[in-house]
Amino acid sequence: MNWEGLIEESGMSKISGSMFRIVESQEQVATMGLVDSLEEQLLLEQMIEETKPKDENKDKNVHYLLSTPFRYPPLDWGSRFGSKVEASLFFGSKSITTLMCEAAYYRFIFWMGMSSPPSSKLRTQHTVLSIDYKSKYGVQLQLEPFAQYKSILTDSSNYKATQKLGNAMRAFGIKAFEYISARDPEEGINVALFDIEALASKKPVDTTQWFCETDGDQVLFRCDHHDKVYRYPYSFFQIDGKIPQPVI
């Protein structure tokens, strides 16, 4: 696949918009359960912070929830557009519906990856961030000339081709791009940033708190300030009787 030729054909135009990102609100809740006072909690969190990779963007005064994704190495299998030896990307979705689909899929992946899943539902708290992005060098993979390769770009488990595309986009200096979600049946749009400079502001535009319940049968998300519930049964993500795992 000549990804370089398609990138040149696309023109690498300006790109901007808003997206949502979800993060687990776990550190303070988790550490508070291990100590007897706020002073001990602060000390424990400082010790945890010292074990984390150095934050290269700390001096840019970017909110930690926005800088963290750029701080950590990729997963063992990389990501859809990043190999396991490349820097991590900042991922989000253009809509809450698409974001919840993506989040629910990875909650199932997390559940299936546990050596001994809990006997009861796993309850977690999450923060959804609203973020603006903007870059002079962007690509929209949902449009031509890339749209003709939608089946490759949205492959349920094989990231080999898309990681090559990601490598090519990095080489061309692309900072941000949009693409069709592989987990949302409505083909909602996701967003990914290669560079922290593609963030339009140094802090989230807005944040909301969410609760999640996960077990082997379903994932459920509920916002704390309205009654809307997003429910995803295991079958929602099944292909040929099972949920596809990311594979290179």
Tell me the pLDDT tens digit for each residue of 50-60: 555 555 555 46
pTM over 0.75: yes
Q: Please give the pLDDT value at position 192.
A: 98
DSSP-derived pairing of the beta strands 138-140 and 176-180: parallel
Instruction: For helices 3-10 and 160-171, give the axis angle rounded to 10 degrees.
Output: 50
DSSP code at position 17: E
Rounded to whole angstroms, what are the CA distances from 29 to 36, 145, 185, 210, 227? 13, 46, 34, 14, 24
Q: Please give the pLDDT value at position 86.
A: 86
85 vs 89: CA distance, rounded Å: 12
Question: pLDDT per residue over 152-201, tens digit each?
Answer: 999 998 999 999 999 999 999 999 999 999 999 999 999 999 999 999 99
Q: Strand 206-214: give its sheet, edge to edge.
A: 138-140, 176-180, 189-193, 90-93, 15-24, 122-135, 206-214, 218-223, 229-233
Tell me how crowded residue 151 is: count the other CB atoms within 10 A of its CB.
7
> Of 72-76, 95-99, 193-197, which gets the smallest average pLDDT?
72-76
Q: Please give the pLDDT value at position 49.
A: 55
Q: Are 130 and 18 in contact (CB under 8 A)?
A: yes
Q: H or E segment at 166?
A: helix 160-171
DSSP code at position 160: H
Bridge partners (DSSP) of residue 94 are none
Mean pLDDT of 87-107: 96
* Average pLDDT score, the chain: 87
216 vs 227: CA distance, rounded Å: 24
Phi/psi-derived region of residue 67, left when phi > 0, alpha when psi is between -120 and 50, beta in every other case = alpha
Domain extent listing, the chain = 3-27+64-237
Task: Return the residue matching tokens 């890339």.
Answer: 146
Tell me how crowded residue 38 is: count the other CB atoms within 10 A of its CB.
9
pLDDT at 31 over 50: no
